[in-house]
Amino acid sequence: MKKRFFAALIAAAVAMALLCGGALACTRQSAEVRKLYNMVDEANEKIDRYVWIAKLTPYDDVGWLLWKVDRTVAPVFRYARQIGATVVCEYRAEWIDGRIVYVDPLKVINVGTEEN
């Protein structure tokens, strides 16, 4: 009787260890995905602020705007590539300083095996 009890206890312990190990990997991956989504949200908010600033200023600052956007999205792309996710730019037209300028807010389209 004791042997069966200990065998069942060991089997349960092994099953828990396997389940917990898999859960930790899923938790880490979901934390990485959450971080990516937060980075994309922050980058899009910054891009919106830069567009707003460029629209309000009286001088031609389209070059500045495009430079700031490039510097904002670069770390997001770098992190997405690091974790195996795909982030794309969804261009939208904005009227800035008397011309149409295409700015590129970000969107996550692929995060590996997880659904987005």
Dihedral (Cα; 45, 49, 50, 55), 10-degree rounding: 140
What are 84-110's pLDDT values in tens digits?
Answer: 999 998 899 999 988 999 998 899 987
Contact 74, 6 (CB under 8 A): no
Domain range list for the chain:
32-110
Quick one: what percent of the chain has pLDDT higher than 70?
A: 72
Q: How confident is the model at residue 17 (pLDDT cuts 50, 70, 90)?
A: low
Q: Say what the pTM is.
A: 0.69
d(CA 37, CA 31): 10
Structure token pair of residue 110: 């692929």
